[in-house]
A and B are shown apart, each in its own frame.
Chain A
Amino acid sequence: MLVMVLKRLGGVILTVWMVATLSFFLIRLAPGNPFANELHSLSPEEDAARRREYHLDESYSVQYGYWLWDLCRGDLGDSMKYRGKTVNALIAQTFPTSLALGSMAMLMALVVGMTTGVLAALRQNSPTDYALMAVAVFGISLPSFVFAMLGIVLFVFGARLFPLAGWESYRHVILPAMALSLPFAAKISRLTRVGMLEVLGEDFIRTAYAKGLAERHVVIKHALRGAMLPVISYLGPAFALILTGSLVIEKIFFLPGLGTIFVQAATNRDYNVVLGTVVVFSTLLCFFNFLVDLSYSLLDPRVKGSTGE
């Protein structure tokens, strides 16, 4: 078990390093630079001084050396667009917002998705099932900003339940988290239903019913586990997706999250910020997948066996 954990962790680090290295060179190969300005430009001497400030006058390999050395010390460098701000400070200010929003959205998605999924599976081919799955198809195919707009019209301008935008109190979180969670809730709902149905058709369930166990017991003890496995394997990528894909929601609801920075930085060619966010996001993605693998091995005996335990 320990060997597996270490191996996986090593894999995480290796993947993050490779992604960051690739991004390092790609962003520098893209045309443009962080000091470009549409209306006025700098004289050659001024431009050179600014480049020197960020080591941009060195060769790529030297720049890469500087950057990697700083990274190992936990320093992601200075923003080149936002003068006087370090990438660490930017991430420290914005990442908690994304994390809080993401975890709330994930929680909502899990509660709504699993409840409806289980219900639909138990009432397979009933009107309840059809209605729930129709809603889920909508949820998956409609982009989240449509829900966001709809939510604003209904709950802000209509029912006056929530504030319109901003990141101040808990009440500010609900609407954006809801909008962000819906596509994920829909997906989870479908996964749960399919997983459940598969298990419900198995022999051991029939045996359980035959033994005279109540439906409640059968569902909680046996069927739910079957439903949970596909959901859990989806959770890793889903959480990473929720965190990175919150850009539109952040914009609509005016939330100071990391998603906006991620996109802005690429447009600005703010090299250090691009790489900083890439490192954070890729670490997250890999780490969640690692967690999923880990929990898989705890839940599913077949996986446990394969790791040699």
Chain B
Amino acid sequence: MIPKAMYRNLYILIAGGASLLAIFLLFFNGSARGRADFAWVNGTEPETLDPCYMTGQPEGDIATNIFEGLTTYHPETLEPTPGVASSWTQEGLIYTFQLRPDAWWVKGGQILTVDGKPRHVNAHDFVYAWMRQCVPESGSQYSFLLDYIVGVEEFKNETKANWNELIARRKSQNKTPPAKLADLDSDERKEVEAFRDRLWKEKVGVRPKGDLVLEVELRSFVPYFLQVTNFYPLFPVPREAVEAHDKEWILPRNIVTNGPYTLKDWRFNAYIRLQKNAHYWETEKHVAARLQDLAHKTDLPRRLALEKDLLTRLGSFEKHGLATLDALAIESDDTALNLYINGDVDRIRRIPPQVAGELLRAHREKPIPHIHAATSPSIYFYDVNLELPIFKDKVAGRQLRQALALAIDRPRLIREVSRAEQTPAYAMVPPSMRGYHAEPRFGTGTLKGDLQKANDLIQAFQSAGNAKPQLRILYNTLEAHKAIAAFIQDQWKTNIGIDAKLENQEWQVYLDSRRTGKFDLARAGWIPDYSDPNTYLELYTSDDLTSDKDPSRLSKPIVFNQQNHSHYNNTHYNRLVIEYAARVLDYLSDMNKRDAMLQDISSWPDFKEAIADRVRTNQKTSWNELHEAIPLYDQASGTEAKLEAAQRIRLFLLEIAEQMLMWDLPVIPIYHYTTSEVWPPELDGIGLNEREMHPAKFLRWKEGRRPAGTRYDAFPRFHSQTIDKP
């Protein structure tokens, strides 16, 4: 017989194992939610679903589906299509939106009722949401988009002043300063609210006319305004929910939404499950009526023709829209691609950089129907710190910057280092802007053609008594940025004999260094907010609009655009972008102003070399084209034609501004990114667009349901020998 004590060791082991198993069974929290009709990889975990606080694509892609603005957009062309507004008209600078009566606020799948009545989205909801963006306690990073509206800037400044006063008063009374309105006593609060309402009514050009009409008056000519109204910061929000639940109003149990989908479930760092909103206005009946309406009209404008085509092709959301969606919070591009190939997700945002080069090249030779690639509107560049003595010098600083910009072999950088078929950048504005003449704005587009000039510039720089500097390239710690910086370092050393040191910093430290000007050259990028050259050119402006000769100039400190980390300050450039282009209608309609504007542009010291003599690939100069376009404006008749002619002139003005910028080079463009999204060919109602966000309400599976199985065979296989080493 074996004594019992013998087994004690075994017992302990078994008990240990059993308790581990018990812990596992007790805590396992798998979601077992099943496969949604459409699942996409949404990148990093959304920070919030409150349109007022969101800033990124992962948030925007959800918001676009659960909320709806005045307009929404065509999935392929980005043309505005009806949203909460069923129609709109434009008279000069005033837009009038007609809201639909059946756009409901929905909570937990049911129409929200207030005082027993169903609650539809009304014009006051937009006022509430937009005002919320402009007040200090909930101010948003995107509120600058509202500055196009009459009076918004004044409103912001006066509410800020009022807020600061309030804080000072409370401090003097030994009360804690407020972080939000709810922190105030009810009297104080009413006073603040009344002040703001009054101010808004007095100043701001956002005027509800009853519940269902919203009038918006712009301050200046903004051809892309209807692109802004479908952008998430301008979505309406439900006052009742926000006030009842404060920050927590966006949680699934509290949220009230008006989009085609509702928020069903939200699990941190995992997924967001969206469910079709049964009360969404785009019903079978609605679509039939709309199509009938459009069928009677002949000679439809482009926008309506597109809408008609879309509705005919896709049918109503009520009948054909997908029932469930999953947005997965996956950061790893490799996992994303694996999941796609395995058939677990239906859209990924980008191909992992390690295989992007090979896959995109294969795609270019023989199209892979899953890959959708194009030049992206986003750009990769280096900011140059103009506060540094070496760059500050008007002549020598520019010579050095031009030499640095010219001495980089961008095609080789893309071929050997970044390797994802990017487009070399010799300008800030990407080639895709409609109506804008994009082309290399410095150099010839090849290193061979530019090398001599770069060396001449360095020689001129040195012969003026300047020693070759030792520069530092700052980037945030990431292998890809490091490789690019190392390549450029090598290019500068071999091509023009300039030494550069690499300096990497952790993300937040890097942001801080850029903000406070602690860099020589800093890696940066820009993702445009809307499709117009202005979003790139605005970056390098400052509030300094006075003439160089004005004695009062520089009596107060210059406020630079938030993104103008280079501290570029060219008053001619500022006036071109902030004044002439933005208020082009004013300047065209008044002959004196018009002449003064042209006179002012040509008085820029480098005007001749950088603008008048710079012949473009079409053998013309932008200055000549501007002069040719102006009489066309005078001859145009009718509002539409006038606005169109003004827009042409506006784009030439912006082009001249870009030429100034690319002459002075406070920024060295490197490349335009490539968009490489992946979705299956069986999917309809989706297309490459510059916003890189795809409203799910248009999505349809061509066969009526998602094809089962994996997509393993759809992708070419690479073997180690086909991958070229840098």
Contacts and interface: CB of A to CB of B under 8 A. Distances in A.
Q: A and B from one assembly?
A: yes
A104 B30 CA distance: 14
Contacts of B144: 40
A114 B581 CA distance: 75
A53 B141 CA distance: 17
A269 interface: yes
Given A41-B562, A84-B249, A93 B9 contact: no
B178 A52 contact: yes
Contact of B29 (A53, A84, A97, A156): A97
A137 B128 CA distance: 64
| Chain A, interface residues (CB within 8 Å), range | 35 or more
B508 A267 contact: yes
Interface string A4-31: 0000000000000000000000000011
B391 interface: no
A30 B508 contact: yes
Interface string B39-64: 00000010110100101000000000
A188 to B, nearest CB: 12
A103 B9 contact: no
B16 interface: yes
B566 to A, nearest CB: 15
Contacts of A49: 136-139, 178-180
B195 interface: no
B718 interface: no
Contact of A164 (B7, B53, B136, B338): B338
Q: Which of A31, A41, A251, A299 has most B Cβ within 10 Å?
A: A31
A221 B6 contact: yes
Contacts of A41: 141, 515, 562
Contact of A83 (B21, B45, B47, B139): B47
Query: Which DSSP category, helix, strand, loop or mixed, fits chain A's interface?
Result: helix
Given A32-B509, A38-B511, A152-B338, A84 B562 contact: no
B7 A39 contact: no
Contact of A169 (B30, B270, B509, B526): B30
A309 interface: no
A84 B248 contact: yes
Residue of A37, A84, A164 most packed against chain B (CB within 10 A): A84
A39 B32 contact: no
Interface string A199-227: 00000000000000000010011001100
Interface stretch (B78-86, B326-334, B363-371): B326-334
A36 B139 contact: no
B24 A107 contact: yes
Contacts of A36: 508, 511-512
Nearest to B524: A38
A43 interface: yes
Given A111-B17, A251-B332, A100 B179 contact: no
Contacts of B9: 220-221, 224-225, 228
B225 interface: no
A72 to B, nearest CB: 22
A37 B56 CA distance: 10
B712 A157 contact: yes
B136 A94 contact: no
Interface string A61-93: 000000000000000001001111100011001
A106 interface: yes
Contacts of A254: 270, 328, 330, 332, 335, 339
B177 interface: yes
A237 interface: no
Interface of A: 30-33, 36-43, 45-46, 48-50, 52-53, 57, 78, 81-85, 89-90, 93-94, 96-97, 99-100, 103-104, 106-107, 110-111, 114, 152, 156-157, 163-170, 172-173, 217, 220-221, 224-225, 228, 251-254, 256-257, 260-261, 264, 267, 269, 299
7 contacts: A32-B511, A32-B512, A97-B27, A106-B20, A251-B332, A256-B270, A267-B508
Interface of B: 2, 5-7, 9-10, 12-13, 16-17, 20-21, 23-24, 27-33, 45, 47-48, 50, 53, 55, 136-142, 144, 156, 160, 163-164, 177-180, 247-251, 267-270, 328-332, 334-335, 338-339, 342, 344, 506-509, 511-512, 515, 525-527, 562-563, 712
Given A31-B512, A83-B247, 9 more contacts: A32-B507, A82-B268, A84-B48, A85-B268, A100-B29, A152-B338, A165-B339, A220-B6, A261-B269
